[in-house]
Amino acid sequence: MSHVSTPLARTLGAAALLSAAVAWGAAAFQYDPYDPRVDILVPLALAAAFVVGWLAACRAAPLVKPLPVTGPPREAIPGRLGIVRRDWGLVATAYLVVWTPFVAANSAYAGRGSGLGAVYCGLTFLLGAVVSVCNLALLQSWLGREQRMLKEDAAAGAVHAVRVRFGTPVLETYRYPTGQGVGKIAASATYGVELVGEDEDEGDTGGQPAVRLQAMKAGHSSAVGDKHLAQAAAQLAGHGGWLCWPTRWRDIAGTNKERTVSAAFVSDSGHVVWGVTREEDYEHFLRDGAAPPRDTDPALAVAPVPRPARYLPNVHASHLRIAAFGALFAVPFLLDVVPDGAALLLGVASGALGLFAGMTLDSVPRDQELWTVRTTSHPSLQ
């Protein structure tokens, strides 16, 4: 289970990133190959201390719990739908990670007169520069074009909407043959939430069909939508609200090969959950008119649920241990107590471990306790 993100944890995390950035800057722009690199070791030690403090603060924070359902249903539909905020901690971490091999190489090799070391420094610099350009995707909007169209329509004064209740989080797994040989099977996973009629029980929707609000594909990767939906599922179970579609839904469905249409659940508690709906889910409401256009109130605003702490117990521990080993491998050549050949090898190992730990840190799976798993298969596998 995730923990609540507290001001103390965020402060310690920011201090760790800042200390690491100072160490990276000293390693990249200052050269002193024959003396201990105190200018790197001190901020590196501070970063390690702040990380330990961040871990302790995260673990001491309370677990994320469902928000209480309070207050009467909201009659008005907010006109200001908040966006999924960029994770600036992730952005800073990503840039520190991609430059880790160059920083380790530069502090281990620079000024030692090694031709091999100079070549390796050049290659790691090129790697950092190329991946830094790729990381610019982290700075783009974390809403897709179709979600932004819904946001614009709500701000303009009208959306298609129907009252629903936030129901069961579902992980749909679809198995299909790859066509690459006997026994070759792949599977795709889609996160979603069943939204049922506000006055009806799940599994008995009566006159109003259930709608599956699926995770959106937006931002720098599909993980953005998965995490956004998972955070909402952990806190909004049982909440009532409005399910909104854009008034320009035909423009979206007609230009989208998957025929999906953006949607947003706007809870009575003042939160918004972004996603998409498939054609079989929205056609009753949009094509058949069950969700008529409704006016929005531009004075009302909603925002996504608060983002939990990044640290997940029993998941990130192994990644952080790898990063710690990478830092320890750097200590001998930063203290200048090993010959040049050993410094070369330790620099390679330190940079590689730091890069591996950082690049896999954000790829951990979602908390599976929340989800009801449903598996379907291609007809040929049935």
pLDDT digits (tens, 9 = 90+) for 80-138: 999 988 888 888 988 999 999 999 988 887 656 667 778 888 899 999 999 999 888 88
Q: What is the pLDDT of residue 205?
A: 46
The pTM assigned to this predicted structure is: 0.83
- 3-state SS, the chain, equals CCECCCHHHHHHHHHHHHHHHHHHHHHHHCCCCCCCCHHHHHHHHHHHHHHHHHHHHHHHCCECCCCCCCCCCCCCEEEEECCCCCCHHHHHHHHHHHCHHHHHHHHHHCCCCCHHHHHHHHHHHHHHHHHHHHHHHHHCCCCCHHHHHHHHHHHHCEEEEEEEEEEEEEEEEEEEECCCCCCCEEEEEEEEEEEEECCCECCECCCCCCEEEECCCCCCCCHHHHHHHHHHHCCCCCCEEEEEECCCHHHHHHCCCCCCEEEEEEECCCEEEEEEECHHHHHHHHCCCCCCEEEEEEEEEEECCCCCCCCCCCCCHHHHHHHHHHHHHHHHHHCCCCCHHHHHHHHHHHHHHHHHHHHHHCCCCCCHHHCEEEEEECHHHC
Taking only the tens place, the pLDDT of each residue in 185-225 is 888 888 889 998 877 655 554 568 889 999 888 765 667 88
- pLDDT mean across residues, the chain: 86
Q: Give domain limits for the chain.
A: 7-63+89-138+313-361, 148-308+373-381
Encode pLDDT of 257-308 as tens digits: 888 999 999 999 999 999 999 999 999 999 888 899 999 999 999 999 988 8
Q: pLDDT, tens digit, for every residue of 77-86?
A: 999 999 988 8
Write down the pLDDT at residue 364.
53
